[in-house]
Amino acid sequence: MKISEIFKKKKQGISFEFFPPKSPGGKDAFLKVAKDLSAYDPLYVSVTYGAGGTTQDRTINTLKWIKEETDLTVMSHLTCIGATRASLNSLLKEYEAHGIDNILALRGDPPKNVPDFDLEQGEFKYAKNLVDFVKKYDYFSIAVAVYPEGHLQSPSLEKDLEFTKQKIDAGADFAITQMFFDNRYFYEFMDRAAKQGITIPILPGIMPIIDCKKIVEFAGFCNTTVPQEVLDRMEPVMDVPEEMRKLGVEFAVKQCEDLMKHGVKYFHFYTMNRSDTVSEIVKALGKKAF
């Protein structure tokens, strides 16, 4: 089912992001996570797509598993860096053949094994080009990514919003934010977006901090601020994984509660293919929230 239609029917809800298991042997463990989280009646679940399409086959297989084993609505991430129109046409036809009608259109990162990769080369340079390409099929509901603190490569917040508006205007039905930990950035982004006439649903991307060291490292690549107060609370439990995870749950619950107080109705959770942490967060927020 197209997610754009789901938003018309449901005025609040949650969604979950997964990544493809690294081997076929991970299928059963993955499906257990997906089935556990299906108990929360998510709007949809999405599956990531590696840099330069490096997980393409695994992404497709994972989407198929979910469709075969559950009633969940699925969305595939899709990157266009290094892709050709022919390759994307073939892939989109395959998605259509399997009833996968939701796409998160991303520019994507260059492949790590190609150090001299030129982002300016290729048939698709920006996410807006991919949105325009997918839109012409008249089959898919399309999402895009947005960046509350601005994309790392954008020269300014103003330019970042200009690029954001372009890809939304190309045909996006809704958007999902990159992870953020200070809600102030989200509120400021939403204010700027509203002034630019952006009206599509924008789901805040919630990343529970279960490994603070990795999150801080990842945040550095994503232009995401980790508040000092979070780091200070995490510091004493850096070497106690379960205590760190519990704190991560506490932070995420408080973040979501504040967002709800400010009128946010939809949430997108980055699960890291774990059901326990997200389940604790959703239960703490209560069924009325979703």
* Catalytic sites, residue numbers: 17
CB of 115 within 8 A of CB of 155?
no
First to last CA, the chain: 20
CB of 134 within 8 A of CB of 140?
yes
> Which residues, other chains included, contact 92 with Cβ-Cβ below 8 Å and sequence gap of 6+?
103, 134, 137, 139, 140
Q: To which residue do tokens 């107080």 refer?
A: 261
Q: Which value, in Å, is the radius of gyration of the alpha carbons in the chain?
A: 18
Of 46, 117, 116, 49, which Cα lies nearest the Cα of 79? 49
Helix (H, G, I), strand (E, B) or coil at 279: helix
